[in-house]
Structure 1
Amino acid sequence: MQSNDSTEVPDVENQTPGPFDGPQWPHLAPRSTFLSVAVLMGTVVVAASFVNGLVLVVSLRYKKLRSPLNYILVNLAVADLMVTFFGSTVSFSNNVNGYFIMGKAVCKFEGFMVSLTGIVGLWSLAILAFERYIVICKPMGDFRFQQKHAVIGCSFTWVWSLIWTTPPLFGWSSYVPEGLRTSCGPNWYTGGSNNNSYVLMLFVTCFVMPLSMIIFSYGNLLVTLRAVAAQQKESETTQRAEREVTRMVIAMVMAFLICWLPYTTFALVVAINKDIVIQPTLASMPSYFSKTATVYNPIIYVFMNKQFRNCMLTMMCCGRNPFSTEDESSASGSSTAGRTEISSVSAGGSSKVTPA
């Protein structure tokens, strides 16, 4: 395995300064493009810090939220905060200046940390889907999801991510400036089997595999819910619950694809076909756009969770949820709130589905 430790990306124009030497405008793109990206990253930093920080604060304040099923949501918030701190803030500073002002060492560190925490967040979504499948569809019968299972799931996301993000630090590919050269990531720009093999492995292990788990888990969940709803065609509550869960699942899958599909597609296409020419601005967009997931991930996966939402509103409104007539202790429901519950009545052979 040959080392490819270069952090230099071939110049688009002969007179372009190196990514660590000076502003890349107007060589790669107009200054307005860099400033526009800086505004985007600045907005992401503020919004992601607020919503993910709120998740952690609410989780720490309310013990009822520390159930095993909520561990992965906290894990997701931690990963998103780290992406924001190590990635979005660095990108904001670099785009204001027009180049990677912090040097090669920080470039490698940023590329590693953003890849590490980004993949942790990505796999957290897959583990979350699988946990819901296990608990709701009950493929293992009366299996009880406990704290040790939640810890194993969270630990897996970090260990698996480390396995696939440390190789570029030791010679299997490398971390280099990408796109507008104001952020760093895995080297999918330059040719050679060393880089190509890594990009292909990353594509399979950190995109195809979690996406397959998400589709499998939510697919089975929808099949189960539709079967229950079909048995209760007269129940408006059941039909409404089935529609709500279907919309939520579609939103989750679409958000995953919108966040990660452009980035992985760009990387895979360029890794396979080195003759293709992609403008730096266009090449940088998937990377920056994926960082926006740190804002909408908690909105979709946490704030749509009734238990989290009620506790958050109670905390922000000084002890009372203005949108609920229930008392705080009952508003959050059981330890498995925030999911759709399916129960069977053995005597009558009927089933019931209700939104948590």
Structure 2
Amino acid sequence: ARYGLEPSFQSCTIDWRHNDASYKSFTVVYFVLGFLVPACIVVVCYRTSAAHIRVPKPTVVRRTDMNDDFWANQESVTTMVVLIVAAFFAAWTPYAVLCLWAVFGNVASVPHLVAVLPPLFCKTASAINPFIYFFSNPRIRTDIYALLTCRCQAMGRRSCSIEEDYC
């Protein structure tokens, strides 16, 4: 496989338009080991975790405020995990499909917009998770707002260390 400019001319990537045997074999192996296997692992692990979280605990006899907070937090975590998994698939699936299209289809038939958007989606993958954390967890929003506005002292905290609160 060789490298070339992306259709958006922003960076270099594997040149999927040069569709020779080495590109095809590289792409199929990378699709399986770099996308399909990790995606299956993510789905199985998060599904198992979510199922474990949702199983009622027989040791809880009566509802208390602490139990309500615990389960509300578990639902928040489950929502956050679902969003993270969905973001992973939204970011990487279009590019995987584009690469497979180049391997098994006609490279010349790939529209320019379809060639430009998937690499841009991939680039968002590394930046989207912090936004998911921010929007799905009210405590993180409050602490980041306090950190950005230097209001930790006014909140009665001796410092703005997030590690103290979350670790």
- C-alpha deviations, 1:201-249, integer Å up to 9, x for none? 2212221232223223322221221125576485333432332122111
Taking only the aligned residue pairs, the percentage that are identical comes to 23
Alignment of 1:127-166 (within 5 A): none
Select which of 279, 290, 301 maps to 2:111: 279
Letter in 2 for 1:296: I
Alignment of 1:331-350 (within 5 A): 332=162, 337=166
Q: Distance in 2 between matches of 1:276 and 1:216?
A: 37
Alignment of 1:1-356 (within 5 A): 173-228=1-56, 232=60, 235=63, 236-274=68-106, 277-301=109-133, 312-320=144-152, 327=157, 332=162, 337=166
- C-alpha deviations, 1:37-94, integer Å up to 9, x for none? xxxxxxxxxxxxxxxxxxxxxxxxxxxxxxxxxxxxxxxxxxxxxxxxxxxxxxxxxx
Q: Distance in 2 between matches of 1:223 and 1:333?
A: 28
Q: CA RMSD in A?
A: 3.4
Normalising by structure 1, what TM-score?
0.39
Q: What is aligned with 1:43?
A: none
Q: Which sits farther off after the overlay, 194-203 or 212-221?
A: 212-221
User: Equivalent residue of 2:71, what SS?
Assistant: helix
* Native 8 Å contact 1:263 1:287 kept in 2: yes
User: Equivalent residue of 2:74, what SS?
Assistant: helix
Structure whose residues are more often helix by fraction: 2
Instruction: Kindly state the Cα deviation for residue 295 of structure 1 after the two structures are TM-superposed.
Output: 3.5
Normalising by structure 2, what TM-score?
0.75
Q: Distance in 2 between matches of 1:183 and 1:332?
A: 35
Gaps of 5+ in 1: 1-172, 339-356
Letter in 2 for 1:189: R
In the TM superposition, structure 1's runs of 4+ consecutive aligned residues that sit over 6 Å from their partners are 305-308
Q: Which sits farther off after the overlay, 299-308 or 210-219?
A: 299-308
Q: Which sits farther off after the overlay, 213-222 or 297-306?
A: 297-306
Q: Distance in 2 between matches of 1:257 and 1:233?
A: 40
Q: Distance in 1 between matches of 2:130 and 2:70?
A: 27
